[in-house]
A = this chain, B = another copy of it.
Amino acid sequence: MAPIIDEASPEGRALLASGVTEQFEIGALLFSEGNKIDRLVDIISGTVSVSRFGLNGRRQILGFMGARQFLGAASTPRYPNSVKALTKVEAIVYPKEKVNSALATSPEFSAHFRELLVKIIESRDDHIFTIGQRSAPERVASFLLHLRTNQARFAPGGPREKSQHIDLPMSRVDIGDYLGVSVETISRAFSWLKQKGMIDFSDSNHCEILQLDQIYKYGGRDDFTEYRGGAL
């Protein structure tokens, strides 16, 4: 069930009822930079990237979002980022007006939504710490821990135990654009962690953490607060 919607209240139920399921193919854009915002999207399955483009082709990925995370909040009527499907994506789309009226009439839903926004800020702060203070291998280790926590917390069927198997639905270029380093540096960092025996790959999109303690040592246990969900 979508975590942003509080079905306990009448407003929550009305909002839930207004949602429409949609499918997005690989590469499909759920939002484009500058698009008018008329909807809130709640992801059911699949992964998307949220990114921003610079002048000379530079791209910064702000986050990867999966099941049970939502998209579409903005302070301006135009969405400032691009949201692209990295895999097939199934999502529920809520009309903006319905969301706004639920926010206006239900203090509980409003408080819940507000808390999610604060969590987004905190996860952005983790991201800033990572790219501002960490070396490339540390960023990659940190990224693996981030994915690990996320994939347990936002598993499609609901929260589950953390696993040592990490899915990497995004490309190396995507990871580079997320962590603020080049593709080659990402690849070298993975190779280095693998050569040290900390991780292993069945294929390039499926990573196994072999020495969690070492990954923590590089990725930083205390340096980042556990990711908590929600997405702009």
By a beta-carbon cutoff of 8 Å, the part of chain A in contact with chain B is: 52, 54-55, 58-60, 62, 73-75, 80-81, 103-105, 107, 110-111, 113-115, 117-122, 124-125, 127-129, 131-133, 177, 179-180, 220, 222-223, 225, 228, 232
CA distance A110 to B109 in the complex (A): 11
Question: Is there an interface contact between B132 and A60, defined as CB atoms closer than 8 Å?
Answer: yes
Question: Is there an interface contact between A122 and B180, defined as CB atoms closer than 8 Å?
Answer: no
Q: When the two chains form the complex, which single residue of B58, B59, B132 contacts A131, counting CB atoms closer than 8 Å?
A: B132
Given contacts A54-B129, A132-B131, A133-B180, contact A121 B60 (CB under 8 A): no
- A73 contacts which chain B residues (CB < 8 A)? 118, 121
- A117 contacts which chain B residues (CB < 8 A)? 114, 117-118, 121
- Residue of A58, A110, A115, A125 contacting most chain B CB atoms (<10 Å): A125
Q: When the two chains form the complex, which single residue of B107, B118, B128 contacts A127, counting CB atoms closer than 8 Å?
A: B128
Cβ distance A37 to chain B, nearest Cβ, rounded Å: 11
CA distance A129 to B52 in the complex (A): 8
Given contacts A104-B107, A222-B55, contact A131 B129 (CB under 8 A): no
- A60 contacts which chain B residues (CB < 8 A)? 128-129, 132-133
- A58 contacts which chain B residues (CB < 8 A)? 133, 223
Show 16 residue pairs from A and B whose CB-CB distance is below 8 angstroms, ordered by the A residue. Answer: A54-B222, A55-B220, A55-B223, A58-B223, A59-B133, A60-B132, A62-B125, A75-B118, A75-B119, A80-B225, A103-B114, A107-B107, A110-B110, A117-B118, A121-B124, A122-B232
